[in-house]
Structure 1
Amino acid sequence: MNRRRMLAVLIQRAEENRRLRLTLTDAVTIAEYSDPVGPQRAVLVEQAHDQLVRRHPDHYRLIRELLAPHELHPGVLDARDSEAHGRLRTETFAALDRTHPRP
């Protein structure tokens, strides 16, 4: 009898876990679609990225090299420390100016 109860409890917990994951996924999806700027922003960011890579590959490579050590995962910086973020931005622009002076 104990094994049957244990199996029933495990099945119940697995079902609760599945329902919770579906509820969270639905909430995220609704939030994404309710923000009208989100999809537009994503398209604009992608276009800006493509232009930078196509028009200035050496700038892009330098920026990626400078930012890579500070990424949480590819393309995403840690935004919790705005002061460090500002310093990183200043250092990146300074490095760009040193290696690729403006005309």
Structure 2
Amino acid sequence: MFTRAENAAVDATANLGRRLLQAVWHRRDEQGQAQLEAAVQDAADAPEDEDAAAAVRQQIKRALREDAELRAELARILPAAGETVNVTASGERSIAAKTIGTAITGDNATIQP
């Protein structure tokens, strides 16, 4: 039921992360690119490994500390707080929401507290 919406949310998040990593990678020298690439590969190979994720974060933090232009570029990529989001829902009983709480679209639904 929510698979399409969940997939869209995952895709949007992954695409944002990909754009951020690409921006960081493109602004690094060859050594920095190699270090970032290795850290990302380690994290991809072991998604449950917090140390691998921390290594990626450390690479990004280092890049941000060293490059004011990169900080500005990433600020432009990230959605602003309170930003307007446009969502389209189409089809019978479709719903659209920025935040999902409880949504029931079936007939004769009963909600028990």
TM-score, reference length from structure 2: 0.35
Pick the structure with more strand per residue.
1
Higher relative contact order (CA 8 A, sep 6+): 2
Larger Rg: 1
Pick the structure with more helix per residue.
1
